[in-house]
Amino acid sequence: MRPTRSTLTLLLTLTFASTLFGRATTPAPNTSRSAPSASTSESIKRGEYLVATTGCHDCHSPKADAQMTPDAGRLLSGRPATTAPPQQETGEARASLDFTAWSGPWGISYAANITPDRETGIGARYTEAAFIKTIRTGKKPEGEPLLPPMPWPAFKNMTDEDLKAIYAYLMSLKPVKNFVRASPVVTAAKR
């Protein structure tokens, strides 16, 4: 079976994005929380490493410049309202110019705000257990699916310790208030 042009385009785009954005910047720590214990500090450091090496900034961080450097003031805060969604084209996957929005056979997906902001991020919606369950099942706490290009089928193979470290790191970030429009869910009838 030969891969389709759209599959190859998506794979090349994701490979390019992972290579391009592998140089994530270090965010300012969330100073509104008490100082973490040594074991928590180690977990947060591990989580920061995992977030940087697995490409989370590729989609979840707005970009600061034409070189696609993650914006240090808005790390992991999801698609900015100023980013236009990509046009949909039958048989193709497309990305916005900053890689925070995608379109394809599934519809349009927007990179979520994964900072600990309680109103617009994961702060109120995700406990550690809910975060791990979401990555393992590909379903958000409300039951919505995680849409492409979110690589949860690969991430679900991470250890519990690694997922806990990622969660600890995300929760240590400075909360960024950025409401990201929910992605429309594609029903079986639309596919």
**Mean pLDDT score across all residues of the chain:** 82
Residues 2-30, mean pLDDT to the nearest whole number: 43
Torsion over CA of 79, 84, 90 and 91, rounded to 10 degrees?
-50
- DSSP string covering 16-85: HHHHHT--PPPPPB-TTSPPPPHHHHHHHHHHHHHHHHTTHHHHHS-BSSTT--B-GGGTT----TTSPP
pTM: 0.77
Residue 26 in this model has a pLDDT that exceeds 70: no
Structure confidence at residue 28 as a pLDDT band (50, 70, 90): very low
pLDDT tens-digit map of 113-129:
999 999 999 999 999 99
Structure confidence at residue 184 as a pLDDT band (50, 70, 90): low
